[in-house]
Structure 1
Amino acid sequence: MTVERRFFVYILASDRNGTLYVGMTSDLTRRVWQHREHVVAGFTKRYGVGKLVYFEIHATAETAIRREKRIKHWPRDWKLNLIERDNPDWDDLFDRIAV
């Protein structure tokens, strides 16, 4: 039996239109929790970024990494449009994924 792996590209925000962080992981719940709880020193801890406002699922790590890099190089307005297309109220999506 093969277990299907999934990879996620996600965007965290400090607040609506606030500081953004783009990342990639194979365990979205765990990784967002780490950001929210500031268990690892770094950008998200320093800038108070922990609200999950966008994510997408990929079948392979390679496609997720490629997408993450592409989004990171986008202008800020494009990232805001991506978030607001699916999450116009900038709701924190963490409760929807934390099972």
Structure 2
Amino acid sequence: MARNLTTPGGKILLLLDEKNTELTVTEIVEIMKKNTSATTITNWLRELEKLGLIEVREERTPVGTRKKLVGLTEKGKLAAEYLRRIIGVIQQ
């Protein structure tokens, strides 16, 4: 089955690119959660990971809990750059 980058997925890529750092899944949900459920956002993240555009890794906090960190892969950085170019052309 072919997978495609969706508009919400593109927004997540641009968000990660703009922040230029890893974000937790919770942070992404808080930023993106305008009329969108956390479950839907998590599904978008899974799809981006399947496409090889983001990497999700788990890290333990000092108090022993776990958090998931999301960052762009090289492929994801290239995709975000490409999206910014497209947006620039459209806005001209």
Q: Is the structural similarity TM-score above 0.5? A: no
Which structure's residues are more often helix, by fraction? 2
TM-score w.r.t. length of structure 2? 0.29
Normalised to the residue count of structure 1, the TM-score between the two structures is: 0.28
